[in-house]
Amino acid sequence: MNKLRRVLYSAVIAACAAFCFAQEAVPPVPISHTTLTPTEGLLRAAQEQSAKPAAGTPQDAAQPAQPSPAPAASAPAQQDAPAAQTPANDTPAPAARSDNPAPQTATPPPATMPANNPEPLPSAAASLDAVLDRVVEREHLFLAQMKHLHPMVETYLQETKADKEDDVSVVKDQYFLGRLNLSDGAEDTSFLGQPGFGKRMLSNLSGVFSLRFLPLGFAQMVVLDTDFQRKYYNFNFVRREFLGEVRCIVFDVEPKSGAGTGRFMGRVWVDDQEYSVVRFNGTYYPRPKGSYYLHFDSWRLNLRPGVWLPAYIYSEESDTKSSKISKSLHFKAQTRLWGYDLKGLNKNEEFTQIVVDAPQGVQDQSEAAADASPVMAERMWERQAEDNAIDRLQRVGLLAAPSDLDKVLLTVVNNLLVTNNIDLQSDIRVRTLMTAPLESFSVGHTIVVSRGLIDVLPDEASLAMVLSHELAHVVLGHKFDTRLAFNDRMFFADQDAFARLDFRRTSAEETAADAKALEMLKNSPYKDKMTNAGLFLKALQEAAPRMQNLIRPHMGDGIADGKNVRMVELLTSAPQLDSKKVDQIAALPLGGRVKLDPWTDKVELSKSKPVALTSAREKIPFQITPFFPFLTRYNEGGTTKTAAATEAKQ
């Protein structure tokens, strides 16, 4: 009888486990560090499933031998490390949906779940062990994938302070752009001539507190742990929760005593189908003496089947203090990654698509089969230089791939051309620069506008103001340097792009372009809507001294140079700038308009719903906000459902 009871009890436990973790019981994905090759190989490896059941992982807290993450910052003042605490059960974001977990059917061992578990686990301990094993396996596979990928990585940081009324304003900013390389530890290649990612990101902050960021401080935040093992951590199940369309299992993760320095401590979201980490929020702990690990919120997107890759990282600090002063350091930073498939932009594969006809059947089908006239030859030579420069910028990862956003921008340009009866006798193109600094420039007949500039413009009339200035250079026939028509001039390292490709204009050309742009705007559909454009210029003029890295151009001419801005006539005719007036929106926060696909480098306008402001404090022009992407799964039907990066903005 006792034997029969034991059999029945085991059957009940197994049935409950199958009900609660029907999908979680998928065997772990095997990891191969030798067969993962570039894009095709890593995508196949991500989808392979092993028929062997998951084995338990040792739970002893052995001292790790691998190096810990580099501290994000160091300070001259020494500060004792805080005592380890179990992460609290945070309140979910308002937009998230949460499913109630199934009742607990068995008590997991202490090594798996801390005693003060906030909610019941969703299944039996054996099933939870299998889930955690899969999470560890998938994270190791992620690290193997990242060794073959070298994305572009951009960090923009703003130091802030609060006034007597607790209104936060920016006092200083920093910017970094480079390419991330995890093939042999975390390394980077800077495009701006800086010594390393994040190095000296902050120096002499506000002249009060000297804090120096160490290399790779922000780049490290793409990785949960370079040696993520169950034996180093306590896992505490919190709940199930939706992030967009992706249902996740949420765990609080805390390093065990003796697990070494630089271990992740915080909350982890794992998708409940493949058990990939899609988000982790917290810091590294314990920190080395005299240094700091920053707090961060790191998001990954499902860019290919079974492949979740880092896309957004938000970091913020408001309580980092020095023992010598009473003031705290306040700053926030955005890090974006893209350019995972830059090799896909190469056109070598097009060679295999060429169809060669029989010699006798080849005929010139052009309307005028003749040599180009001198004028036409000059135009063709300029277009060749233009195409070389645009193609090189795209292959570097600085220029977005042709996309629907370009068509929107081109519509505004066509409105200006048609209403002014201008015929350029050749096509005009508009492209998007992937970077955050506010700049625009023209390369021959191609107008380029940065993602950051499109983000902060308040309306279409303000966009028309920016485009009209660059269009004026084209209409006035300002000379484009045709030395780029020689292809050997494109043979340079990617990180030298800013130095080798310079599209700045002379001051005389800029003045003439301003005058022509104002003339075109007066004849355009935007002529009665220039008030907001003038307000934007006033807001930019006011913010320029405090956000010098945001307004500093790298390839063309900036909209503002110190207190000087373009189109002064619009500036003087605009109403008074009033930061306390809720309905006066002079500029938007960064990240408010453009979203990008980090794999294909295509950009489009965000479809986020407009939000009514409740106070002037929510206006935050030109400022950084957190990321809250609406996560989706990759659609294998041929289209990519890219997560809409809907930042916390107005």
DSSP string, 186-199: SEEEESSS-SSTTT
Burial of residue 231, with CB atoms counted within 10 A of its CB: 0-12 exposed, 13-18 middle, 19 or more buried: middle
Q: Is 163 helix (H, G, I), strand (E, B) or coil?
A: coil
Among residues of the chain, what percentage have pLDDT more than 90?
Answer: 45
Which helix (H) or strand (E) covers residue 619, if one does?
none
> What is this structure's pTM?
0.76
Which helix (H) or strand (E) covers residue 69, if one does?
none
For 105, 111, 123, 493, the CA distances from 102, given in Å and listed in that order, are: 9, 22, 7, 56
Q: What is the DSSP letter of 630?
A: B
Identify which has the larger pLDDT, 587 or 89: 587
Residue with tokens 């790779």: 216
Which helix (H) or strand (E) covers residue 645, if one does?
none
Lowest mean pLDDT among 283-292, 330-339, 612-621, 624-633: 283-292
Considering its fold, how many domains does the chain have in total? 1
Query: How do residues 162-215 score in pLDDT, each as one tens digit?
Result: 776 667 788 999 898 888 888 776 555 565 655 443 333 333 222 222 333 433
SS in 3 state form for 453-486? HHHHCCCHHHHHHHHHHHHHHHHCCCCCCHHHHC
pLDDT band at 99 (very low <50, low <70, confident <90, very high): very low
Query: How do residues 466-519 score in pLDDT, each as one tens digit?
Result: 999 999 999 999 988 899 999 999 998 888 888 889 899 999 999 999 999 999
In a domain, 565, yes or no: no
Distance (Å, whole) CA 191 – CA 232: 37
**pLDDT confidence of residue 290:** 65
**pLDDT confidence of residue 496:** 87
Strands of the sheet with 246-255, listed across from one edge: 187-190, 168-181, 152-162, 328-338, 307-321, 296-304, 277-285, 263-271, 246-255, 233-243
Residue 460: pLDDT over 60: yes
Domain boundaries, position 410: 379-526
Query: How do residues 4-21 score in pLDDT, each as one tens digit?
Result: 444 444 443 443 433 333
Distance (Å, whole) CA 239 – CA 71: 31
Q: What mean pLDDT comes out for the span 289-316?
A: 90
Inter-axis angle of helices 125-146 and 38-47, to 10 degrees? 170
Strand pairing category for 446-450 and 429-433: parallel
List the structure tokens of 571: 């500036």
The 10 Å Cβ neighbour count of residue 175 is 20
In a domain, 469, yes or no: yes
In a domain, 314, yes or no: no
In a domain, 326, yes or no: no
Contact 269, 300 (CB under 8 A): no
Closest CA to 523 of 426, 419, 641: 419
Q: Encode burial over 420-435: b for 16+ CB neighbours within 10 A, e otherwise.
A: beeeeeeebbbbbbbb
**pLDDT confidence of residue 592:** 82
Give CA angle at 519 (518, 525), nearest 5°.
85
In a domain, 266, yes or no: no
Identify which has the larger pLDDT, 590 or 124: 590
Q: What is the DSSP letter of 216?
A: T
H helix count then E strand count, the chain: 12, 21
Indicate the average pLDDT of the chain: 75
Distance (Å, whole) CA 554 – CA 438: 9
Query: How do residues 357-393 score in pLDDT, each as one tens digit?
Result: 555 555 555 555 678 899 999 989 999 999 999 999 9
List the structure tokens of 522: 């007066």
**pLDDT confidence of residue 363:** 58
**pLDDT confidence of residue 612:** 87
Closest CA to 262 of 230, 300, 298, 223: 223
Distance (Å, whole) CA 502 – CA 381: 18
Q: What is the DSSP letter of 155?
A: E
In a domain, 117, yes or no: no
Burial of residue 14, with CB atoms counted within 10 A of its CB: 0-12 exposed, 13-18 middle, 19 or more buried: middle
Lowest mean pLDDT among 257-261, 277-281, 397-401, 468-472: 257-261
In a domain, 175, yes or no: no
Contact 159, 84 (CB under 8 A): no
In a domain, 570, yes or no: no
For 361, 364, 372, 375, the CA distances from 368, given in Å and listed in that order, are: 19, 9, 9, 15
Closest CA to 60 of 119, 3, 110, 118: 110
Among residues of the chain, what percentage have pLDDT more than 70?
Answer: 66
Q: What mean pLDDT comes out for the span 28-57?
A: 38
